[in-house]
Structure 1
Amino acid sequence: MKTEDFDFKLDPAIVPHDPVELRGKTRDGGKMIVLDRSVGKIEHTSVSSICDYFRPGDLLVLNDSYMLLNMLEFKHGDGTAQVSVYGYEPGNICVVGIEAEELLVQAGLVLTSMDNNKLTLHIQEPHPDHTGKLWRAKFEPFDLLVSTLEQHGQRLDKFSLLHTTYWKTAPQAYRSVFAKKPGSLQIPSAGLHFSRESLAEATAKGVEIAYITLHVATAGSLMDRKIDEENIEDHKVGSEYYEISEIAAGQVSQAKAEGRRVIAIGTTVLRTLESLVDSKEPGAAFRAKSAWTDLYIYPGFHFKVADMLLTSLHHPRSSHLVLVAAFGGKDLALRGYSEITDKGGYEFDSFGDCMLIV
């Protein structure tokens, strides 16, 4: 399938750089386009009406990860460096960018954190997909990385347009209201559309809620997961770490056994749920698991868990858009995006509007 099929013109002016609350809006006050696969219908409404599409007994699955500050200062001898974490890979490998005028950055270099001298960084090799820009490296001990970033980190993004001042003054605006676990290096954005009131409305309607964790953190996210290959089948996505508890696994198993709908809030949740199916015996219950997934979903994929999807509006030629086309049906999904761009008034990406596929 040709990648150019998923291309369209996106005006940078409709890609906001700041969360809705910092622009005088409410979380559930944005626009929402609804794709109804059963009848091929498209509806334009608002996020505040999302509970109208839920039924008693539905299982709403939310990602409780939130985005970390990503930059720390390190030293080697008399030289200092700004180290920005841009992604994780299996085996406790991190993808980092290093700004150091006084140091020769090369494989084998060991740096020590200026905030916690127990934390060191060991440079492994240039990242093959970003030679000259990014490095593969190991933080030792790895368990100290998140806590040190939480306490001392700053936000430095060479590849995105986040407002660093707001990060310091209003960090909660960049997190979902249910976020509990730090670890993502990009924002799990679909959850931002829920207010506490809309979640309360859902539970009052009889909707059950489950929480899973997937840390959005691959080097591919630096370029909006853009697909450069001519054919989408030739693309690969980076691995991301996920956790599903025994409680959440049981909730999903019971919902599927009882024929209740499972609603994935975000592509991260969708990938996690479908990855669980790939790793279990047919007919077996879902189990608690912590693992990495490199599942790449594109048209032709057979979904076995998720029945509905809420997701942000994605960039052209991106793996996110291809996933949406797989779930919603290519023709209906692309028709939806065509209506969005023709109609106008919609905003894209993490702080923009959203799409619900039923």
Structure 2
Amino acid sequence: MKTSDFDYPLPLERIAQTPVEPRHNSRLMVLRRDRTEIEHTVFYRVGEYLNPGDLLVINRTRVIPARIYALKTTGGRVELLLLRREDETTWEALVGGKGLLAGKRVTIPNGPQAEVIEVLEGSRRRIRFSAPVEGYLPSIGQMPLPPYIHTHLENQERYQTVYADRPGSAAAPTAGLHFTPELMGQLREQGVRFAEVTLHVGLDTFAPVTEDDPGEHKIHTEWCELNPETADLINATRKAGRRIIAVGTTSVRTLESAAQKAASGDAVAPFCGPTSIFILPGYTFGAVDGMITNFHLPKSTLIMLVSAFAGRERILAAYQEAIRLEYRFFSFGDAMLLL
């Protein structure tokens, strides 16, 4: 298996720059693993493919305005992109700007001071703020949209799911962006249930794999939680013979991290902590029976994950069909339902 096996040509015009309105009007491609044909519909009709008792597992994480602009003592401008909170005042961050070595201090206008306390891999740094920075973020921070989105987002809430309420992500769990309160209400009325997990998304999830052998790629850790109440609901769903359907690859990673801790006969165990699970073809899924997901970047860990679930050749063929039919790709793009 090579990283190049997960590459595909994508015309730039297929990268969605703005979200569809309303959210549930995005297109939906349905790929069933036990059938050869591909179905095409719209997302607000996703309930036609779900059964009473099915469980949709959603990620409640909320994107924080994590991009901060600061000034060096020389007056030069630098950028800090917060990735992961380590304690009350310490964060792992990506930095943009020269000379940001250990001991360097920067000033954030209308915010706390910050000091680089450790140089990590590449442009990563461990940063310590003079005061907890979260309370300042609404006024000093900007939403960290992915680098392939070049159009200004007027409504910042469109890069949040409608159920996002646990701040901590550097990027949105984009499969959940297609849900509206109205659609979720309709699904509940037909007997589909929802379970909630949290995984705070890091930017590495979307980065391409640069090693020739994907097995040599080091995936960075992300914090996730699946609480005992959710574990009971998931296990009851599995024992009742109903399907567990992850909304997004972040929910997949949380579920499968929890599955690795499960006792015999259970799908998952409660789990809280960092996960570095890397799902490649050949992986045996322990908790996930289906997933809702967007169309992912070439050579990314995410296209490898969906290939592990539905097969590499089938996924790449489906992507080519999506390009032919002018589906929209990536964060603000259309959706796939894999069953």
TM-score normalised by the chain length of structure 2: 0.90
For 1:124, the aligned partner's letter is E
Aligned match for 1:122, one of 116, 123, 128: 116
Deviation of residue 352 (structure 1)?
0.7
Structure 2 counterpart of 1:136: 125
Among 104, 110, 113, which residue is 1:109 paired with? Answer: 104
CA distance in 1, matches of 2:271, 2:136: 26
- SS of aligned partner of 2:25: coil
Contact 2:175 2:335 in 1 (8 A): yes
Q: Deviations over 1:140-175 (max 9, x none)?
A: 478x333332343124669443545x3xx4121111
Label 1:124 to 1:53 Cα distance change in 2 as closer, same or farther (>3 A).
Answer: same
What is the Cα deviation at residue 189 of structure 1? 0.4
- For structure 2, the residue ranges without an aligned partner over 5 or more in a row are none
Residue 61 of structure 1 is matched in structure 2 by: 57
| Kept in 2: contact 1:18–1:162 (CA 8 A) | no
Q: Is contact 1:84-1:156 (8 Å) kept?
A: no
SS in 2 for 1:335: helix
Count of paired positions: 337
Q: CA deviation at 1:332?
A: 2.1
State the match for 2:30 in structure 1: 34
| 8 A Cα contact 1:110 1:123, kept in partner | no
Q: Which runs of 5+ in 1 are unaligned?
A: none
Superposed, 1:50-199 pairs within 5 Å as: 50-74=46-70, 79=75, 81-88=77-84, 93-99=91-97, 104-117=99-112, 120-125=114-119, 127-128=120-121, 130=122, 134-140=123-129, 144-155=132-143, 159-164=147-152, 166=153, 169-199=154-184
Do residues 234 (structure 1) and 190 (structure 2) align?
no
- The one-letter code sitting in structure 2 at the alignment partner of 1:139 is R
Match in the other structure for 2:43 = 47
Distance 1:29 1:247, change over 3 A: same
Q: Shift in Å at residue 82 of structure 1? A: 3.7
Tell me by how many angstroms 1:40 deviates: 3.2
Over residues 228-283 of structure 1, what are the superposed CA-to-partner deviations in whole Å (9 max), with x where a residue is unaligned? 22232222322111122332222112212322211100000000000011234434
Tell me the secondary structure at the aligned position of residue 40 of structure 1.
coil
Could you say which residue in structure 1 is the equivalent of 2:333? 352
Report deviation, 1:122.
3.1
- Asked if the contact 1:123–1:135 (Cα under 8 Å) also holds between the matched residues in 2, the reply is no
- SS state at 1:305 partner: coil
Alpha-carbon RMSD across the aligned residues, in angstroms, is 2.5
CA offsets per residue over residues 181-200 of structure 1, 9 Å max, x none? 22111121000111222111
Q: Is 2:313 the partner of 1:331?
A: yes
> In the aligned structure 2, how far is the partner of 1:157 from the partner of 1:123?
27
- CA positional deviation for 1:39: 2.4
Q: Is the 8 A contact 1:314 1:320 kept in 2?
A: yes
Q: Judging changes above 3 Å, is the alpha-carbon distance between structure 1 residues 49 and 289 closer, same or farther for their aligned structure 2 residues?
A: same
Letter in structure 2 aligned against 1:6? F
Q: Please list the CA deviations of residues 318-347 of structure 1 after superposition, one character each: whole Å capped at 9, or x if unmatched.
A: 111111110112232222122222x32211
SS at 1:296's partner residue?
Answer: coil
- Paired with 1:252 and 1:264, the residues of 2 have a C-alpha distance of 11
Aligned counterparts, 1:210-229, within 5 A: 210-218=195-203, 220-221=204-205, 224-229=206-211
Letter in 2 for 1:200: G
8 A contact 2:105–2:114 mirrored in 1: yes
